[in-house]
Amino acid sequence: MKASWLKWAIPAAVVPVLLLLAYGFKTNPHDIPSPLLNRPAAAFSLTTFSGAPISLESLRGSVVVLNFWASWCVPACYDEAPALERTWREYKDKGVTVVGVDVQDKEEAAREFLAKFNHSFPNAPDPKGRVSVDYGVYGVPETFFIDRQGRVRFKVVGGLTDETARHHLDALLKEPS
């Protein structure tokens, strides 16, 4: 008598919770979907560490790799730094620009970081965090791939690898300009 309703009530309560847990464990917590994908990338206008102005507008027509980093971001930013420089050297003559945006950093530490890795692509500080928020950045490193039309197409959270960079850039360069 008592068991008749318990027989279905317990599974009815437990099964949905188990399904929800199973779903939660299968999803990657780093995969917070960005609402910016396939939308026009936010305009920015910064001054690089070498004093040159750089803006998204001036890069229109080329594929842009926009990398957010900081010298205090250990170890991910240090791990990806050589791959960024290699990507820049491999793709700069194919219509790709790599731009580094330094987030919440001390200038001296940032310059040391750039010197350590011999970065030759443009890097600029974002002193008020405006560009970071415009790109919905919630941690470093994060890298955005912007196509020739100026739309955000891919977002990589965490350290960038040569393979990932090549994979996204080859896809974007194949598209008609």
Partner 1 sequence: MRRGWAGAAAVIALTAVAAWAAPSTRPPSTGPVDEQVVHEVASQLRCVVCQSLSVADSPSETANQMRAIIRERLAAGENPEQVRAYFVAKYGDWILLSPPRSGFTLLVWVVPFVGLGIGLVLVAVAVRRWSRAPQAAAPSQIDPAVRERIRREMSQMDKP
Using CB under 8 A, list all residues that contact partner 1: 2, 5, 9, 32-36, 104, 128-130, 132-139
Rounded to 5°, the CA angle 38-153-176 comes to 95
What's the closest the beta carbon of residue 89 comes to partner 1, in angstroms?
32
Strands 53-55 and 45-47, how do they pair? Answer: antiparallel
Nearer to partner 1, 1 or 115 (CB): 1
Nearer to partner 1, 43 or 52 (CB): 43
With CA atoms as reference, report the closest residue to 97 among 64, 75, 72, 52: 64
Q: Contact, 64 vs 84, CB < 8 A?
A: no
Nearer to partner 1, 44 or 91 (CB): 44
Nearer to partner 1, 135 or 145 (CB): 135
- Cross-strand partners of 103: 126
With CA atoms as reference, report the closest residue to 149 among 60, 59, 44: 60
Residue type, 54: I
What's the closest the beta carbon of residue 136 comes to partner 1, in angstroms?
4
Q: Contact, 125 vs 144, CB < 8 A?
A: no
Q: Quote the CA–CA distance of 89 and 14 in Å, as a whole number.
A: 55
Nearer to partner 1, 20 or 52 (CB): 20
